[in-house]
A and B are shown apart, each in its own frame.
Chain A
Amino acid sequence: ETGVTQTPRHLVMGMTNKKSLKCEQHLGHNAMYWYKQSAKKPLELMFVYSLEERVENNSVPSRFSPECPNSSHLFLHLHTLQPEDSALYLCASSQGPPGSYEQYFGPGTRLTVT
C-alpha cells in the first residue's frame, strides 16, 4: 500500500456517459497528479495540483475535467469520451514541488470506453 487510493479500480463507460474518478492520499502531501498510461506509450502527465492550485494542464482535451477540493482529494470528471481514451489512469502525490520529490502512485483505474 502506497497511501494513495483510487476508485473505482475498473470502469466501463459509453461515449455519452459522465463519470468521475476519485483519488485520495493519506500521506499529508501537498501536490497531486493525474497521469494517463496507454499500451506501449510512455506515461503522460495530464494535470498537476500544488497546494490545491492547478499548475499544469498538459494540453488535455476538455472532456477531462480535474477537481482538487482539498490537498487530500483529487477527482477527474469524464464526459463524452472517445474510444482512444481507454487507458489506465494513475493518480500520484508528492511531498513537495512537482519533480523534486518522489511520487507515490495509486493502483490506477482501468477505463474502457465503448
Chain B
Amino acid sequence: SQQGEEDPQALSIQEGENATMNCSYKTSINNLQWYRQNSGRGLVHLILIRSNEREKHSGRLRVTLDTSKKSSSLLITASRAADTASYFCATDRDYKLSFGAGTTVTVRA
C-alpha cells in the first residue's frame, strides 16, 4: 500500500529557480529515499536519508527529514532544463520500499 505522498503533484518553474517538493508518510520508518524518473524511463536514486539524520546534501539537492512530523522535503537549487522529471519519495516498511505517486517538475527555459 502507498506510504509516502508527495506534494505538490506538479510544479512548473523557470530555469535558475529553486524547486521544493514535500513528502508525508504515515508510519515510522528506518529511512526515506528520493528518486527521479525521466519520462518513460527507469528511476534513478538521488538520496537516502536515515531516520536519525535531519538533512543531507548531494550537489544541488538538499533533503530534510522531520520524523516528528513524518515529512521530508527535496530542494533542487538553481534548476536546469535537465531537471525536468518526476520525483518520488520512498519509505521503507517491512523491509520493502513503498513509493508515492510523485511530483512532476517542469523547468522552463
**Closest beta carbon of chain B to A51's beta carbon, Å:** 13
B56 within 8 Å of A by Cβ? no
Docked complex: B1-46 residues within 8 A CB-CB of A: 2, 30-31, 33, 35, 40-45
**Closest beta carbon of chain A to B21's beta carbon, Å:** 15
- A105 touching B42 by the CB < 8 A rule? yes
A104 to B95, CA, bound (A): 16
Interface size on B, residues (CB 8 A): 24
A103 to B40, CA, bound (A): 18
* Chain A positions within 8 Å of B83 at CB level: none
A106 within 8 Å of B by Cβ? yes
A108 within 8 Å of B by Cβ? yes
Q: A42-B2, A99-B92, A100-B92 are in contact. Are A106 and B42 (CB under 8 A)?
A: yes
A4 to B45, CA, bound (A): 13
A20 to B44, CA, bound (A): 24
A14 within 8 Å of B by Cβ? no
Q: A105-B42, A110-B40 are in contact. List 14 more A-B contacts (CB 8 A).
A: A2-B42, A4-B42, A40-B101, A43-B99, A48-B96, A55-B95, A92-B42, A98-B95, A99-B94, A102-B48, A105-B35, A105-B44, A107-B41, A108-B40
List the interface of chain B (C-beta within 8 A of A).
2, 30-31, 33, 35, 40-45, 48, 88, 92-102
